[in-house]
Amino acid sequence: MTVSAIAAISACVATCAASAATFAIVSSNRQVADQLNGSLWAVDTSHEGTTTVIDYRYANNGVSASKTFRVGQEYLFHFAMAMSPAVPYRIQIGPGIRTLDAEEGQSQLTITGDAVWQRDDSLKLIKREKADAVTPLPADTQFAGVEDNYFLSVLKPEKSNGAVLTRVEVLGEKNDKRRELYAASM
């Protein structure tokens, strides 16, 4: 992989992590989740050999957290999260990692926002239009994610207690409803 490809992936990770929807924290403690998802984080970038390390840090009002991305020479990157005080949480990705231009959005060839997950080395696809409001996935789920026409955003935890796909309806520019899918690991 070229240096420019690594830089592009790093920029994508930085953009995704800054989004309130992508790499968001979902917690039963709504106040902590809202505080973390609605705040600005300090960002540091460093290098460990051929690996780029992007570290997001937050601390305010008795809550501290860090999100660390390790991007190597492959498209797969390592993500770690730490939070204090200790509250149950999961990380959520979706609905996609880019905005479609008007022409792409109207094309029947553009596929965005469908969920994918893998169990027992078998890939499953859930169309966003047909997804249930909440779809719990079993503990032996190998990964869960959301596909975009050109990209696949996937959570592949080292240790998993399952995952969940969540469908939300959002209003479009002309008050038309659009279903979006989010994936979260547990």
Q: What is the mean pLDDT of residues 113-129?
A: 85
Q: What is the pLDDT of residues 139-149, one digit of tens each?
A: 888 888 887 76
Q: What is the mean pLDDT of residues 98-117?
A: 65
For residue 20, pLDDT over 60 is answered with no
Q: Which pLDDT does position 55 carry in this prediction?
A: 94
Mean residue pLDDT across the chain: 76
Do the Cβ atoms of 154 and 143 come closer than 8 Å?
A: yes
Separation in Å, CA 112 to CA 67, 104, 142, 179:
26, 10, 22, 11
134 sits in the region (left: phi over 0; alpha: psi -120 to 50; else beta) called: beta
Structure tokens at 14: 């930085």
State residue 103 phi and psi, 5-degree precision: -65, -45
Residue 97 pLDDT grade (very low, low, confident, very high; cuts 50, 70, 90): low
Q: Which pLDDT does position 60 carry in this prediction?
A: 94
163-171 vs 51-60, strand pairing mode: unpaired
Q: What is the pLDDT of residues 71-92, one digit of tens each?
A: 888 777 888 889 998 888 877 7
Q: What is the mean pLDDT of residues 39-58?
A: 93
Q: What is the pLDDT of residues 25-42, one digit of tens each?
A: 888 888 998 899 889 999
Domain ranges of the chain: 3-90, 94-185
Share of the chain above pLDDT 90, in %: 18
Q: What is the mean pLDDT of residues 99-119?
A: 68
DSSP one-letter string for 17-37: HHSSSTTEEEES-HHHHHHHH
